[in-house]
Amino acid sequence: MMEPTAYLLLSGILFGIGVAGVVARKNALIILMSVEIMLNAVNVAFIAVGSHLGDPTGSIFAFMVMTVAAAEAAVGLAILIAIYRLKETIDITELSVLKW
Amino acid sequence: MEPILFIIFGAIAVGGAIMVVTRKHPMSSALYLILTLFAVAALFVLRQAHFLAAIQVIVYAGAVMVLFIFVIMLINVPENKLPMERLTGLRLLGVVAAGFLILESAILARRFAMPAGSTADAGSVQAVGRALFTDYLLAFEITSVLLLAAVIGAIALAKRKI
């Protein structure tokens, strides 16, 4: 089996793309999708190192991350629907009620 | 065989991820995200994590992405009312910072050195199931409480009147 270095590098690249999506986009839906990419990148690292060490703990952690990602998507999209109903926009720069 | 498949599926995953963050319409982003998730599931199979690969396809590419597409179609922002994306200096700085993050992780990944463990398939359904229902039973049960809270929260948030 391959050393996990290449997988960790891929994980870092995917995470960086996710970060770039979160900081550079305005569309709230795409920001949520970028967060999903970041969580998936973390899973790649967990699985790579877990199988390298021959320990099922890596899979368990990835499983927990997936559960949290599903919960996050459900709540985040519900908030998005509520915001769209109220403000008729999904542009995050226009959602600044909580700004001082 | 593994390096070739890794390069193929890794390239698909990275390319899909780049398309996700660069497309204008969220629907094309969602479809490219499904592509990325499938490629990542293939990478899980390459690492012998068969259980996680199945969960990835069923839960992520199945349930979560259906939720996303459902919401995109439900709120259905017209094409001309999508947010105008302009690359301001601050955003460019953020992208550059993300590039540095990738560079840092590359350096960290190169320094990764851990002795390989036993080659027993740690990601098989048997091994994961045994660990999940013995050592990590409490975490598993708390996860179900988390999901219950998420379901109730999502309904309460999206409902017009409670």
pLDDT in tens, B67-107: 999 999 988 888 777 877 777 888 889 889 999 999 998 88
In which band, very low, low, confident or very high, does the pLDDT at B148 lie, cut at 50, 70 and 90?
very high
Task: List chain B residues with CB under 8 Å of A8.
Answer: 105, 108-109, 112
Q: What is the pLDDT of residues A35-47, one digit of tens each?
A: 999 999 999 999 9
Residues 6+ apart with CB under 8 A from B96: none
> Residue A90's domain is classified under what CATH number?
1.10.287.3510
pTM of the model: 0.91
What is the spatial distance between Cα B150 and Cα B162, in angstroms, rounded to a whole number?
A: 16
Note whether B56 and B40 are within 8 A (CB). Answer: yes
Q: What is the pLDDT of residues B32-45, one digit of tens each?
A: 999 999 999 999 99
| Total structural domains within chain A | 1
Is there a domain that residue A100 lies in?
no
Is there a domain that residue A78 lies in?
yes
Task: List chain B residues with CB under 8 Å of A34.
Answer: 20-21
Residue with tokens 């499938």: B38
pLDDT > 70 in chain A, percent: 99
Check CB contact of B134 with chain A, cutoff 8 Å: no
Q: What is the pLDDT of residues A45-73, one digit of tens each?
A: 999 998 888 888 889 999 999 999 999 99
pLDDT at B162: 59
Check CB contact of B12 with chain A, cutoff 8 Å: no
Is there a domain that residue A27 lies in?
yes
Is there a domain that residue A99 lies in?
no
DSSP B124: S
The distance in angstroms from the start CA to the end CA of chain B is: 56
Is there a domain that residue A42 lies in?
yes
Which H/E stretch holds residue B27?
Answer: helix B26-46
Is there a domain that residue A28 lies in?
yes
Residue A24's domain comprises 5-94
* Average pLDDT across chain A, whole number: 90
Is there a domain that residue A20 lies in?
yes
Residues 6+ apart with CB under 8 A from A61: A46, A50
Is there a domain that residue A85 lies in?
yes
Is the predicted pLDDT of residue B7 greater than 90, yes or no? Answer: yes
